Amino acid sequence: MSQLPILVVGSVAIDDVETPSGHRPESLGGSANYFSVSASMFAPVRLVGVVGDDFPESHVDALAQRGIDLDGLERVDGKTFRWKGRYASEGADAETLDTQLNVFETFQPKIPEQHKDTPIVFLGNIHPMLQVDVLDQIDAPRFSAADTMNFWIQGEREALKSMIRRLDMLIINETEASLLAEEGNIYDAADVIRGMGPRVLVIKRGAYGAIIFHPEGLFTVPAYPLRKVVDPTGAGDSFAAGFMGSLAEQGAFGFAALKRAAIYGTVMASFACEGFSMDGVISLERSKVEARADQLRQMIAL
């Protein structure tokens, strides 16, 4: 393959998810899991994470069959990270009902020797010190990006800032951006966050799309017009996956490449929302991805 490989570190989880569309216990989830499945449609993916002995072997096989490199997936005694959440209505934020860190509590990412020169790195939403730890273990990548969440912004601000400083790109949502920047206006918030280090900032706005803040200007991508959201869990990771996957496929990281990548991020997020767990993306064909990418490009074509 000519695409550049991507290394992702993040959580691999078993979720219990309730949405207005139904209830899915024992739902495969976690940021690295969602990211790997969607990104592997575009480029080779190397997954770094940890699971317990309760993690279904069938899913490990499914990941391997997609060509995802699992040398960095530790399997240890104990239970896999578990998250239980509920979405009260379509479009609502998740309400966390229960979190059991289990084997994730003592997780120390170890980058396999042969993966230390991976040119593209995505740090999924985990403790910012672990994200820093990953950056310490790898050679200077050509492009690095990360996600985070309110929990770390509120509780681990300094660690988070030391991580953000080293990124090429931060991908967060609008609420997180305001919280991180302590600025209500999204454009002011973007200035503050870019002042923290990353050259590029992507702010996700859910059903309203996303904005790329780049030294050369702004780019806005609309959300894909979805009639129904079955389960938004993993939408953010799938967005990052389509985005980073497209960059890896393009082998380019300039403003034009980032714009094209934002289209694919949006498409992958839309598919992720249409099913519980990985249902929307696990057996997705590339032709369907391209059809939605075309639709999105039409939606902004003057």
Residue 294 C-beta: closest distance to a copy of itself, Å: 11
Kindly state whether residue 186 participates in binding a copy of itself, applying the rule CB under 8 A: yes
Candidate ranges 48-56, 128-136, 149-157, 215-223; the one touching a copy of itself (CB under 8 A): 215-223
Kindly state whether residue 71 participates in binding a copy of itself, applying the rule CB under 8 A: no
Candidate ranges 29-37, 134-142, 201-209, 268-276; the one touching a copy of itself (CB under 8 A): 201-209
217: left (phi over 0), alpha (psi -120 to 50) or beta: left
Kindly state whether residue 209 participates in binding a copy of itself, applying the rule CB under 8 A: yes
Ranges within 241-280 binding a copy of itself (CB under 8 A): 256, 259-260, 263
CB nearer a copy of itself, residue 1 or residue 302: 302
CB nearer a copy of itself, residue 227 or residue 286: 227
**Calpha distance 43→6 (Å, rounded):** 7
> Residue holding tokens 């740090």?
123
Kindly state whether residue 25 participates in binding a copy of itself, applying the rule CB under 8 A: no
Q: Of the candidates 58, 65, 287, 298, which one interacts with a copy of itself according to CB under 8 A?
A: 298
CB nearer a copy of itself, residue 16 or residue 188: 188
Kindly state whether residue 300 participates in binding a copy of itself, applying the rule CB under 8 A: yes
Site string (227-246) toward a copy of itself, x via CB under 8 A: xx------------------
Q: What is the per-residue DSSP string for 49-66?
A: EEE-TTS-HHHHHHHHHT
Kindly state whether residue 195 participates in binding a copy of itself, applying the rule CB under 8 A: no
Q: Of the candidates 16, 71, 74, 90, which one interacts with a copy of itself according to CB under 8 A?
A: 90
> In this structure, how many other beta carbons lie within 10 angstroms of the beta carbon of residue 9?
29
Residue type, 94: A
Site string (155-184) toward a copy of itself, x via CB under 8 A: -----------------------------x
Size of the site for a copy of itself (CB under 8 A): 30
Buried b (16+ CB within 10 A) or exposed e, 247-264: bbbbebbeeebbbbbbbb
Kindly state whether residue 185 participates in binding a copy of itself, applying the rule CB under 8 A: yes
SS3 214: strand
Residue 257 C-beta: closest distance to a copy of itself, Å: 11
End-to-end Cα, the chain, rounded Å: 35
Q: Of the candidates 225, 288, 290, 291, which one interacts with a copy of itself according to CB under 8 A?
A: 225
Q: Across the beta sheet with 6-9, what order do the strands follow?
A: 69-75, 45-51, 6-9, 120-123, 143-146, 169-173, 200-204, 210-214, 217-221
CB nearer a copy of itself, residue 107 or residue 219: 219
Dihedral, CA of residue 67, residue 72, residue 78 and residue 83, to nearest 10: -70
Please report which helix (H) or strand (E) contains residue 47, including its range: strand 45-51
Dihedral, CA of residue 167, residue 172, residue 176 and residue 177, to nearest 10: 70
